[in-house]
Structure 1
Amino acid sequence: MGGHMRRPLVTAIVSTFDAERLFAGCMENLLRQSLYARGLLEIVVVDSGSRQGESALAAAYAREHPGIVCLRTQRETLYAAWNRAVGVALGRYIANANTDDRHHPDTMRVMAEWLDASGAGLAYADTLITPAVNETHMDTRSDVVWAMPGYSLRQAVVDCIFGPVTMWRADAHDAIGMFPEEMRIAGDYAFFLHVAWKMGAVHVPLPLGLCHQSMDNLSSDVVGAVRENYAFLPALRRCIPLADMYPFLDGNASDAARCIALVDYANLLLFAPGGHADPAHALDLYAEVDALCPGRFDVRFNAAVAMVKAGERERAMDALRGIDVRDDEERTLVAHNVRLLQRGEPLWKLATVSVSHPLTDALAPLVPRERRRMSRAQYIALRPGGAAYLAGDASADATR
């Protein structure tokens, strides 16, 4: 076990299991971080019962380089290993370093600077994506960037926007707790969403990571991720006050303003991307709106769609037939959905109604995660000394 002469600013945690062919590349990548050269990066390795040679490699690195802590455990979940590393970490900030992913040489410094400037509890960045094993950020041939949206709690509760390049305050664990060890895939989303809600988050709009895309990754288990999302998201969402997502409710306690927020949130939960939709919660929100502002066509119509998504087709049919329609357009919409339900058509064919409002239109737009090409000039600008190297205003995207 090595030791830095200075207290580290950042601790990078590396959990490894049967990843010997990736481990040296991961360690070399961290040792080339500019923060490590300044004695401000600690590396904590947790060998989670690997059947390969990572422990011997980690011990050799620790003998030759200061600031490396090596732990070996029985086989445990990724998040149990992360918690074990967090328990010994000395850094003010903590970052995960997956054995198959790589970082820009200045990733740890840039992420820490954005946390310093924003005061947020969590920072997350964009990343390049590659199918190649053991490429580095400096020699990759990939030009595909996985761009994350800017932070808003309203979007984070309906989609995991944080990605694989993250850094968070170590004291977040004192306030929030640890990663849920029973999870295999979605434990980081559960923890990061809680941190973002309580302490704020900031998006760093630079491709600071290089993510190895493989069907062997835990993140490729979509079914498992959906199952784990449903294990924690519904309860956490019900704990978050509506005003935390809709700032226009601060100082405006009118029923009309609350209904505007409730309808928007219910529609988001109804239409959320795979693994994040919650029709049961949406139904509760629509019911609250109907009690406060009774008779709204869009609310009762979409509530019927939520019933279908919740597996209650007969109830949805009765609800549609019970709507008091006011014009031909509403009559046509109701008849359309009734006809589809009678035929047993798939859910995606059902019509829904969306009503915009200036209060919700003024909120940060919901932008999907997207993959886009990066030009060679943009890539060169990211290299040390390049024009865009470390570019960006560290306080511009911070949201509490």
Structure 2
Amino acid sequence: MFQGYDFSQGTERMHHVSASLIRAYSNRAAELEKEGRTVIRFSAGEPNFNTPSDIKEAAIRAITNNYTHYPSNKGYGPLEEEISRYTEKFTGVHYDPDTEILVTSSAAEALNNAMLTFVGPGDEVIVPMPAFVTYKALTGLCGATLVPLYLEEKSGFQLDPDALEKVITPRTKMLVLNNPCNPTGAVLSYETLAKVCQLAQKYNFLILSDEIYSRMVYGNSKFYSVASFPGMKERAIIVNGFSKTFAMTGWRMGYLCLQADLLPVLLRCHQYSTTCSPAFIQVALAEAMDSPLTRLQVQMMLDQLAKRRNLVMQELDGIPGLSYIPPQGAFYIMVDVRGLGMTGSAFSQKLLEEKYVATVPAVGLDEPSDSYIRFSYAASDEDLREGFRRIREMAQEIRNGK
């Protein structure tokens, strides 16, 4: 007698992987747009800037020059050299381009490969929460156990090393850090990171550090890479990419930096996921990611994001019932809606269906109280102003009992 498989459910590991609420709200926004509604999108981490000109032109040249065949599955050598220089410039850590850098098809693939390579059934993965949805999903795909470490608003969503130590067990294999953080905008302090690194060495676990927003830091905050701390390069796996800082979300280019003895096993995982990343994009980035015009255009984007952060906080200050913790980095802000007598889920739903403004309830990012929504302020100035006009209008209606 053959077993009656229900193939629509996938494997057991897929039972631990939930659909992304970010995508759910983005999909609903698309449906409303098809109905003719003008939707303001604050839901996805999509910078509205264009890819730097030199990179686009270099990519066209690379295609014309027939860089359309398989490159090395580890990456195009000149690009690895550029990534090495870039990483050392902004983190102070040197990675050998020949043995310690792997080019991937997006930072998402880098995260996927790193977790599948080093985490398996029986392992525990600690994830500070709220957090980007991928970390929880990948932990489930690996068959590992997720250990949430909930962050508190009163601390500015900073990680507490003492609380971290309490959840470490002999099965702890990995701590996932996102610094600066999506969704909270928190940037981990030097003192906090130093203590976290001491715990990693004391209890012998890896730190998977998602540093995709490392260039987006505001005010007096400063970014420090986990790998820059003494004794940490050998137990830190650094994920970064080009989507955010270089406004290249659709190009799907990322990379991993890690000590040489960790790379061969991870490369095997990469070999059977995407094999290699497109040659012409790698050639273009090698040529133009650090050109004077690219540096100028990237800095203009970073400066504009800082202004948009200030604009969003100014707008929120004028809406009674909404409160927030000022974000120190990335381009997200967590907004507390309890002052309007609503949950984050209800507020986001009402805002999308009635005012056509897409946000994400933070409960979808594993914020436990359902008190917050997440805004992305990577949208245009015009969309930010119009979106907050609609939010202000809805908040007034809620206060008036409509």
TM-score when normalising by structure 2: 0.22
Name which structure has the greater RCO, CA cutoff 8 Å, separation 6+.
2
Q: Which has the larger radius of gyration?
A: 1
